[in-house]
Amino acid sequence: MGGTALFLCTGNYYRSRFAEHFFNALCRQRGLAWQASSRGLQPSQENLGAMSRYALDRLRAHGIELGAELRMPMDLQRSDLMEADVTVAVNEVEHRPMMQALYPDWADGIRYWRVHDLDVTDAETALAAIEEAVRSLIEELSAL
């Protein structure tokens, strides 16, 4: 079985992008037919480049090179929510209120993790937490 996973964060620049690419790499390694994408609830023009250097560095440390897969951050659209089999917002405290404001009919139907942004925790801690959560999610999805 396979499907689509959608990861959400505020800017679609750091946490959700890392989750997307880490998830996809692990699914490829395990031969699972799941594919992830990611979107932002409030992408910022202040972010430099397509993706956070912290996320890129951590992906490279895992041997994951993006090449042509590297794109600019994208805003969440209703169609993204409709197409996803599983949707995860990476921090409930930040993202549940945003979801309730933007897509109130979807706010209670998605999963929420508790991975803070750089204003609260360092990249090492946040990205390690995402890795653990992604691994757990993949284990759950492979059991379906």
* Domain chopping of the chain, boundaries: 2-142
Fold adopted by 2-142: Rossmann fold (3.40.50)
Per-residue pLDDT of the chain (144 residues; tens, 9 = 90+): 689 999 999 999 999 999 999 999 999 999 999 999 999 999 777 777 889 999 999 999 999 988 876 899 999 999 999 999 999 999 999 999 999 999 999 999 999 999 999 999 999 999 999 999 999 999 999 987
Q: What is the rounded distance in angstroms from the CA atom of residue 85 to the CA atom of residue 67?
A: 26
Q: Count CB neighbours of 140 within 10 A.
A: 10
Predicted model pTM: 0.95
The helix (H) or strand (E) run that includes residue 4 is: strand 2-9
Residue 101: closest CA among 84, 136, 76: 76
Q: What is the rounded distance in angstroms from the CA atom of residue 47 to the CA atom of residue 65?
A: 21
| Angle separating helix axes 53-61 and 123-142, nearest 10 degrees | 60
